[in-house]
Structure 1
Amino acid sequence: MDKFGLPACQAAGHLVNAYLMQNTGPKGPAEGALDQIIKILDRLLALHPKEIDLSLGRMHRLLAALGHPEKRLPPVIHIAGTNGKGSVTATLRAVLEAAGKRCHVYTSPHLVSFNERIRLGTDGKFVSDPMLQEALQRCEEANAGEEITFFEITTAAAFLLFAEHRADILLLEVGLGGRLDATNVIDRPLATVITPVSMDHEKFLGNDVADIAAEKAGIIKQGVPVVCAAQEDAALRVIGRQAARNRASLEVFGQDFVALEDQGRMTYQDDDELIDLPLPVLNGRHQVANAGLALATLKTAGLLPEEATIAKGLKSVNWPGRLQPVTHGPLHDLCPDDAEVWVDGGHNPGAGISIAEFMGEQEERAPRPLYLVSGMLTTKDPVGFFRPFHGLVRHVGTVPISSTNTARTPEDLADLARCAGLEATPFQSLDAALADVAACAANDGEPPRILICGSLYLAGEALARNGMAPE
């Protein structure tokens, strides 16, 4: 049984389903490569009875059988944390690429297609199906049927690709936790980064913020500088102790550097300089802090470019499914013509605070009734996620998530939304929930603001439904 109380092959079926969601049709890859990848993914899912079993032993064994690709990687920036890992990674990539650097990037989970997890610096694009197929086959053969989790063996495939294709740097995002995460086999990265730590994955990481921070801080290495977001005191104490044990310098947001929004601009400041920059293109006040964390990391690693190049990078950051506006397409067509539609994959209480803050700012800027359309996994805390929206939301429509077997039922999620003080109604599809919003808006005569939220899986379904797969 896996973390969701389901056999791994059943619980992780959404991985194959999500892969199929985008990689079909006339624009998809060759049918042979697609078919082979789906078959390989199915086989890999069956190699361990659990989807998550945190350990490094299996990873070290497989990497040794593959000739240690983890020792042949370009310089690595290793990123852990609860919220903001993907946004910080995307900002690092945008600024580095603006400076002419070639970046390998590893992130998870994907929104629509598995290929999104592996971006190669050779061309800046997601790994192609033929290349992914070959890497997965090599890992499957080297593993020789031994027990290993899906994330471990696919991470090994990513390391193979990163080792065998040239790039200037690898931006390596932790999957879960840090200390025992499959990515934590890198001996000496250029820098380690810890984004904001909050409650999530308690079953695996601990029941309080200090315990979770200890797992995240497990990526800190001897003598390797650490750049850290602003944290709760309990988390920061743990991170500080781990840095001290490893004689690793520690730079902390709000103490050693800061990034602030000021009159429509962003100011980055540390002990050495003050830089006036455009705001990041990603929406939300928290993205200013994420951008500041990325810039401090680049400076610590000796990679911060000149001001004009930083500005160019901040204007080009792309990280789908995070307060992403939807202005046209099939999904938008289900909504009133004048509806304002957003998609966000945030799914824990910390994300709920940031998203609600942004929606509150939109309400002050241009008042509209706010409707949530939400689906969530059974491992998440819906009450904690919904609570920051109290007093801001007109209604919540709860929906199933078809790309996973581990989502809460719409009825269960509606009950939990009510526990957070929100009015909620269950629906059996995303389309039905949006149709209800359209009917309410027609009756009220007010253009609505619609937020599709609560899960990266739901965000992926919404983007795929609207023909907006990540690129």
Structure 2
Amino acid sequence: MKEVVRATDPRIAALIERQANQYVEREQIGLDRIRVLLDRLGNPQDRLPPVFHVAGTNGKGSTCALLRAGLEEAGHRVHVFTSPHLVRYNERIRVAGRLIDDDALADVMGRVLDHNDDIGASLFEVNTAAAFLAFAATTADACILEVGLGGRLDATNVIERPAACGIASLGLDHQQYLGTTIAEVATEKAGIAKSGVPLVVLRNSPEALEAIEAVAGAQGAPVLLEGRDWTIDPTLSPSLPGAHQLRNANLAWTMLSSQALVTVTLETFRRGIAGADWPARFQRLPDGPLAPERETYVDGAHNPDAAAALAAILVDRPMHLVIGILANKDAEGVIAPLAAHALSLTFVPVPDHPSHDPAGLAASFGGRAAPDVEAALRGLPEPRLIAGSLYLAGDVLKRNGTLPD
């Protein structure tokens, strides 16, 4: 699967173009190319601090942010690899607490691509190898890896023995790669399980849990299941809004408390998550070009389960919605739960990406179409919420001058 991204730094843009010229399309994802690439680079993945590996359809990025907040509050230096980025390519790689700078990113990407000519790895595989190189070169106490797609065949799944693994909320997404049933998706996600390593799992459907238990059992991984092996602690109060973030915080805490390689106390974790930051998750925009003294929020909800979680926040506070949805996403599944709490609906395209036609969405769901977010927000009363795509959310943050750090 080819990932299409852009970068403002000309060196990074040139490296992305170089990877595109090396890339060889194939029908199935797998670990063969990343393993060959890493072997040529000296296997930097074997020189990482204790790893916390997080999979899931929704919530895995938030869980990573909450893990990081707790670990850093305890004084630990933490590497983090997440995807996609919202505004700057550097957001994907955080080295010992700081986003990788352009010089370092250009260096590690160039070193990876020097070995990639005859491998043809995907951009995500190249990113993963680059992150491992950067992490291995800098001392840290912990490393957090967010699965990019699935789990079993994801490039991050080359870590042989992480400290703990976690599976956040599951739903149907990327069905061409992960399967068309929740059991098939769960089987792929559970592929991060490792022998003797705790696998912490949020409560999901019976079919999903049966699949997870089967994979974990075959791998010899002990499963710690919400509602059976641990319960939600309502006193955990993450800064990220929504009942789903309380569950993600509890997932993160159970991952931390299930292992003994890195120490974080419950009280320290509570303090950390109270200041956690994860952009484009019901984020209020500061005053800027798109939100000049107007109450405006942005959220990257892009599939039905994420939209349902966002809708639960809106139950007590309906908003004027601006929505843009990628062409390959379930428009009705995203719009229906949000529209139930909309004061008005305005549909926009997702810049630089194939997206559902705004006029067609307006005809189907009511509301109006606008050529872009600026036009959609012009004269729109408060409170306003922009949602439907992480790519749209990233564009909004960029246009408002709100850069994730």
1:60-97 CA-to-partner distances (Å, cap 9, x unmatched) read 11111111111111111111000000110000000000
Match of 1:29 in 2: none
* Cα drift, residue 49 of structure 1: 4.8
1:308 aligns to what? 267
Q: 1:96 aligns with which of 68, 71, 88?
A: 71
Q: Is 1:394 matched up with 2:348?
A: no
Q: Distance in 2 between matches of 1:379 and 1:180?
A: 22
Would the aligned equivalents of 2:55 and 2:168 in 1 still touch at CA under 8 Å? yes
Q: 2:357 aligns with which of 396, 404, 409?
A: 409
Over the aligned positions, Cα root-mean-square deviation in angstroms equals 1.7
Aligned pair in 2 of structure 1 residues 319, 405: CA closer, same or farther (>3 Å)?
A: same
Per the normalisation by structure 2, the TM-score is 0.95
1:307-356 deviation digits (Å, cap 9, x = unpaired): 431222011211010000124111112xxx5x431100011110011100
Aligned counterpart for 1:352 among listed residues 301, 307, 330:
307
Q: Find the aligned partners of 2:118 and 2:20 in 1 and give their Cα distance.
A: 12
Residue in structure 2 matched with residue 55 of structure 1 by the alignment:
30
The separation in 1 between residues aligned to 2:118 and 2:101, in whole angstroms, is 25
Residue 376 (structure 2) aligns with: 433
Aligned to 2:44: 69
Contact kept, 8 Å, 1:377 with 1:406, in 2: the verdict is yes
In structure 2, distance between residues paired with 1:304 and 1:451: 39
Distance 2:45 2:394 in 1: 30
Query: Is 1:466 aligned to 2:400, yes or no?
Result: yes
What SS does the corresponding residue of 1:433 show, helix, strand or coil? helix
Q: Where do 1:269-418 residues align within 5 Å?
A: 277=236, 279-302=237-260, 303=262, 305-333=264-292, 339-363=294-318, 370-402=319-351, 404-415=352-363, 418=364
How many residues align? The count is 404
Indicate how the Cα distance of structure 1 residues 207 and 291 shifts in structure 2: closer, same or farther if over 3 A, else same.
Answer: same
Q: Measure how far apart 1:405 and its partner are.
A: 2.8
Hey, what's the Cα distance between the residues in 2 that align with 1:387 and 1:49?
Answer: 38
Distance 2:367 2:132 in 1: 44
Q: 2:58 aligns with which of 83, 89, 93?
A: 83
For the 8 Å contact 2:349–2:357, the answer to whether it is kept is: yes
Tell me which amino acid in the other structure corresponds to 1:414: A
Instruction: Could you tell me which runs of 5 or more consecutive residues in structure 1 were left unpaired when the two chains were aligned.
Output: 3-7, 21-33, 261-265, 268-276, 364-369, 442-447
Distance, in Å, in 2 between the alignment partners of 1:383 and 1:35 is 39
**CA positional deviation for 1:53:** 4.6
Shift, 1:225, TM fit: 1.0
Report the equivalent of 1:423. 366
Shift of 1:199: 1.0
One-letter identity of the residue aligned with 1:100? G
Do the aligned residues in 1 keep the contact of 2:57 with 2:169 (CA within 8 Å)? yes
In 2, the alpha carbon distance for the partners of 1:62 and 1:307 equals 39
| CA apart distance, 1:461 | 0.7
Matched residue, 1:44:
19
Per-residue deviation, 1:164: 1.1
| Aligned-residue offset at 1:145 | 4.3
Show the counterpart of 1:188. 161
**1:96·1:103 contact (CA, 8 Å) conserved in 2?**
yes
- Partner Cα separation in structure 2 for residue 170 and residue 195 of structure 1: 18
User: Given the alignment, which residue of 167, 175, 189 partners 2:140?
Assistant: 167
| C-alpha distance in 1 between matches for 2:257 and 2:243 | 22
- The equivalent residue for 1:274 is none
Shift of 1:146: 3.0
For residues 75-130 of structure 1, give each alpha carbon's deviation from its aligned partner in whole angstroms, at most 9, with x where no partner exists. Answer: 11111000000110000000000101111000000000110000011xx1100100
SS across alignment from 2:232: strand
Tell me how far apart the structure 2 counterparts of residues 387 and 258 of structure 1 sit (CA, whole Å). 31
Amino acid at match of 1:357: A
Report the secondary structure of 2:302's partner residue: coil
Amino acid at match of 1:352: A
**C-alpha distance in structure 1 between counterparts of 2:156 and 2:231, whole Å:** 28
Shift of 1:50: 4.1
Name stretches of at least 5 consecutive residues in structure 2 with no aligned partner: none
Counterparts of residues 134-283 of structure 1 (less than 5 Å)? 134-260=107-233, 266-267=234-235, 277=236, 279-283=237-241
**Counterpart residue type for residue 326 of structure 1:** L
Contact between 2:286 and 2:402, CA under 8 Å: does it hold in 1? no
Percent of counterpart pairs with the same letter? 41
Give the residue type in structure 1 aligned to 2:146. E
- How far does residue 395 in structure 1 lie from its aligned partner after superposition? 2.4
- Which of the residues 426, 429, 451 maps onto 2:385? 451
C-alpha distance in 1, partners of 2:340/2:43?
A: 54
**Using the alignment, how far apart are the partners of 2:396 and 2:309 within structure 1?**
21
Following the alignment from structure 1 to structure 2, what is the Cα–Cα distance between the partners of residues 247 and 184?
16
Q: Cα distance, 1:410 vs. partner? A: 2.0
For 2:90 and 2:33, locate their aligned partners in 1 and report how far apart those are by CA, in whole Å. Answer: 23
Q: Give the AA of the match of 2:385.
A: L
Contact 2:70 2:268 survives alignment (8 Å): yes
Contact kept in structure 2, 1:258 and 1:289, CA below 8 Å: no
**CA gap 1:141/1:49 in 2 versus in 1, 3 angstroms:** closer
Contact 2:80 2:143 in 1 (8 A): yes
CA displacement 1:351-389 (0-9 Å, x = unmatched): 0111000011334xxxxxx22111111221111111213
**Cα distance, 1:51 vs structure 2:** 9.2
Return closer, same or farther for 1:101/1:360 CA change in 2, 3 Å cut-off. same
TM-score, normalised on structure 1?
A: 0.82
